[in-house]
Amino acid sequence: MNLDLRTMMVMIAVLSFLLSILLLVASLHARGIKGLRHWSMASLFISFGAGLAYPALTPQPGWNIVAGATFLAAGSALQFLGIQAFKNRPCRCHWLMLAVGLVIGVSTWFTLFEPNTQWRATANSLIFAVINFACARSLLIPLASYQRTAHWLTGASFAVLGLVYVARAVSIFFAPAADYGLFNPMPLNPLMFFAGSIIQLFLSFGFVLMVNYRMAAELENLAAIDALTGAWNRRSLDLECQRLLARSARRKEALAVLMLDVDYFKTINDAHGHQAGDQVLKQLIANAKSQIRGEDYLARYGGEEFCLILPCTNEKEAAHLAERLRQMQASRPTHWQGQTITSTISIGIAGSDSIGLNFSALLQAADAALYRAKQAGRNRVANFSDISLHELGE
């Protein structure tokens, strides 16, 4: 196959420029996702680097090749920064600045002061390899199944690109000095740039795929989470309870359901305003989340009523947690626009140890216990197992 190096340079420059525009547009529509603008700038810099390399395909390259190498190094560094930003991780970029500085120093020295294309290409290839391997290492990590494909595709592309740079460095280092030159028609150069352009496509495609999966996950969360309190909503509760019940049945584990209700919530709204009432609900959820486990499931059931599902928990154990929640809510007033609002909650509890693993029955039992707590004066916890058959009949 006859590959022209000038054609490769133009192709990389144009493709990188188009990808830069694509990623910039994507960043405007996915403002909550970090890293897109880093990658947009990275593609733009790679485009500039490839474009500046085109006039360097002459026997006497000068500052243009130094600038081209600098842009390419900055583009690779921005890709790494984009990955870290996407993962919401702080990046200590001292070593990246060092790598870019080394590329500038090596390119300047071996282009303008001690011209040596072989040493320049070898050193720069190794530096680019290190940056790409760092990107690959940041992405090739254990992840949830829905994220794994996109992350590993992008990470594998970085790893392959790193290996290409290493192969290039080794080939150039051991090539006779008289036979190598960026402008010479040897197979290594066009093959290297052709492979690089293809891999850059895979990298950008992989990153866009990562963004797509992230946006899909966020949309799914938006559909499943109550916008006011951050608890799960009724729809997600209905879906999740079946999974939790199936797991409890499979493992022969207990499961408890709590129904929580803010006492005299209408009075709070009437006295302090609906926004103050919203703040009370937010504080209730914040208090509850500080006490429950990661595997527990808290959902807004309706209005000021919430449902808490506790896997691996019997009714007696759930009562201890419920009492902590009740005391916490009563002892922590809500502060809103200079107002101090004291609120209490009533809690009804039902456990599978007395009801069985039927979610409708557990909900009905927990609701009956909640009604019993309110009848008894509110600001208290009631267990379904303590309710007599006579009271249920009433």
| Tokens matching residue 346 | 């009533």
* Residue 380 placed within a domain: yes
173 and 298 fall within a common domain = no
* Residue 91 placed within a domain: yes
202 and 311 fall within a common domain = no
- First and final C-alpha spacing in the chain: 89
Task: Compute the distance between CA of residue 190 and CA of residue 32 in angstroms, rounded to an integer.
Answer: 39
Single out the catalytic residue among 218, 220, 253, 304. 304
Question: DSSP letters of 144-209?
Answer: -HHHHHHHHHHHHHHHHHHHHHHHHHHHHHHS-GGG--TTS--THHHHHHHHHHHHHHHHHHHHHH
pLDDT at 309: 93
* Residue 229 placed within a domain: no
Residue type, 21: I
pLDDT at 188: 64
* Residue 246 placed within a domain: yes
Task: Compute the distance between CA of residue 318 and CA of residue 369 in angstroms, rounded to an integer.
Answer: 13
Number of domains the chain contains: 2
CB 20 within 8 A of CB 35: no
Range of the domain at 197: 5-223
168 and 311 fall within a common domain = no
Q: Which residues touch 170 (CB under 8 Å, ≥6 apart)?
A: none
82 and 198 fall within a common domain = yes
Out of 223, 249, 273, a domain closes at 223
pLDDT at 187: 60
∠ at Cα 158 (46, 88), nearest 5°? 85
CB 299 within 8 A of CB 307: yes
Out of 165, 199, 223, a domain closes at 223
* Residue 228 placed within a domain: no
314 and 355 fall within a common domain = yes
295 given a catalytic annotation: no
CB 199 within 8 A of CB 12: no
Burial class (CB in 10 A: 0-12, 13-18, 19+), 57: middle
**Residue 260 belongs to domain with CATH number:** 3.30.70.270
203 and 297 fall within a common domain = no
276 and 325 fall within a common domain = yes
192 and 310 fall within a common domain = no
* Residue 256 placed within a domain: yes
CB 309 within 8 A of CB 236: no
277 and 143 fall within a common domain = no
Out of 203, 223, 243, a domain closes at 223
Q: Which residues touch 120 (CB under 8 Å, ≥6 apart)?
A: 106, 107, 110, 111
Local structure of residue 3 (DSSP, 8 states): -
pLDDT at 121: 87
pLDDT at 321: 94
* Residue 185 placed within a domain: yes
pLDDT in tens for each of the 394 residues of the chain?
455 666 667 777 787 888 888 888 877 777 678 888 888 888 888 888 877 765 555 555 578 888 889 999 999 999 999 999 988 887 777 888 999 999 999 999 988 888 888 888 899 999 999 999 999 999 998 887 777 888 999 999 999 999 989 988 888 888 776 555 555 555 666 677 777 778 877 887 888 888 888 888 777 777 788 888 888 888 888 878 888 888 888 888 899 999 999 999 999 999 999 999 999 999 999 999 999 988 899 999 988 999 999 999 999 999 999 999 999 999 999 998 888 899 999 999 999 988 888 888 999 999 999 999 999 999 999 999 887 544 544 5
158 and 288 fall within a common domain = no
196 and 265 fall within a common domain = no
* Residue 214 placed within a domain: yes
CB 310 within 8 A of CB 321: yes
Length of the chain in terms of residues written: 394
**pTM (predicted TM-score):** 0.67
206 and 253 fall within a common domain = no
pLDDT at 34: 85
H-helix segments, the chain: 5-29, 36-53, 63-86, 94-108, 117-139, 145-174, 188-224, 234-251, 265-272, 274-291, 315-331, 352-355, 359-375, 389-393
